[in-house]
Structure 1
Amino acid sequence: MSSVDVVELILQDHRRMEDLFRAMRNVEADRSAALAELAGLLTAHSLAEEDEVYPALRRYKNVDGDDVDHGVHEHREANEALLALLEAGETASQEWQEKLEDLVTAVNHHVDEEERTLLNDARENVADDRRAAWGRAFREARARHLENDCGSVENVRKLVADTKD
């Protein structure tokens, strides 16, 4: 399996997010740094999926379009929870801890569903070379979003506001 397989790249991001959640729960860790990395990764990951992966998956008859739509909806929920955490202030506060758990819940729910539905559908229905092409496009889109500081509180505010319109 190629290291550019889109399914593998998405799974790697999911595992990194789990690592960052563990760090953010650890009172001895640099929670602010973990949050900054998570904000960038989560935002770039979601945008790259929506730019490159989800539209491609919609074209496959054995992939449920409702699952794709649901994934987009869950990205919106995660953005809202991320914004609440970014705006919560001091990492030692009770509010920050609560907002962190809200974000963990939203992201873990999405990751679980995406891995059981869309990613398995992609494994079963999309040829290896096509998944590799999608992987390259996903990786390029994710890098482009990261370069544009997509995880900044200003950008996350904009993403959340854009979905409310």
Structure 2
Amino acid sequence: MDIVDRLKSDHRTLKNFLEVMTDDGTSADARRRSLHHFESLYYAHTVAEEMVVYNALDGKGADWEDLSHIGHTEHKVATTMIARLLKMDDAQSEEWQHEAYLLRDIVDHHIDAEEAEMIPEVSAVFGAPERTSMVGRYDDAKKRALLERG
């Protein structure tokens, strides 16, 4: 497995949690559990992705600078939305559902853009051995992020 596979795997898992959170038939408890799992993975994923992948691509082209800035911004926006959802008491309320749908739209757009633009860049810039070593650093960064966070 290389970094491209790991990123896509995390992306699929994140999208699955978002689907549970936005499914009209999902109970409030299931939505909340999904949100908590989503939040932990999202936090670890974004920290590791920025540290390992974004930093590795820095200086690799003018287009990457714009994509990196947009990626950092989208990570911050989603993190703010997650915090708002975590503070809401009723995961069945209309407000909660609207926030969850908006979060899903933002994260889906972000993931789709990364998979269309960043992942091909990673594949073009780094050979298979580099991509394989990146996945180890990425996994370590995810673990450290969660441990440091508590």
TM-score (norm 2): 0.89
The RMSD of aligned alpha carbons is 1.7
Mind listing any 5+ residue stretches in structure 1 that lack a counterpart? 151-165
1:64 and 2:78 equivalent? no
CA contact (8 A) 1:40 1:146 kept: yes
**2:109 match:** 109
Amino acid at match of 1:10: L
1:15 matched residue in structure 2: 12
Q: How does 1:135-154 map to 2 (within 5 A)?
A: 135-149=135-149
Q: Find the counterpart in structure 1 of residue 26 from structure 2.
A: 28
Distance, in Å, in 2 between the alignment partners of 1:65 and 1:135 is 22
Q: 1:17-39, CA deviations, whole angstroms, 9 ceiling, x for partnerless residues?
A: 11111211233351111111000
Q: Percent identity?
A: 27
**Counterpart-to-counterpart distance in 2, 1:123 and 1:130:** 10
1:64 is paired with a residue whose SS is helix
Q: Which moved more, 1:63-72 or 1:76-85?
A: 63-72
Contact 1:58–1:64 at 8 Å: present in 2 too?
yes
Deviations 1:115-148 (A, max 9, x none): 1111111112211111111111111111222234
Tell me the matched-pair count.
147
Q: SS of the counterpart of 2:133?
A: helix
The answer to which structure has the higher helix fraction is: 2
Q: Where does the alignment leave 5 or more consecutive residues of structure 2 unmatched? A: none
Partners of 1:55 and 1:107 in 2: how far apart?
A: 21
Partner Cα separation in structure 1 for residue 126 and residue 19 of structure 2: 33
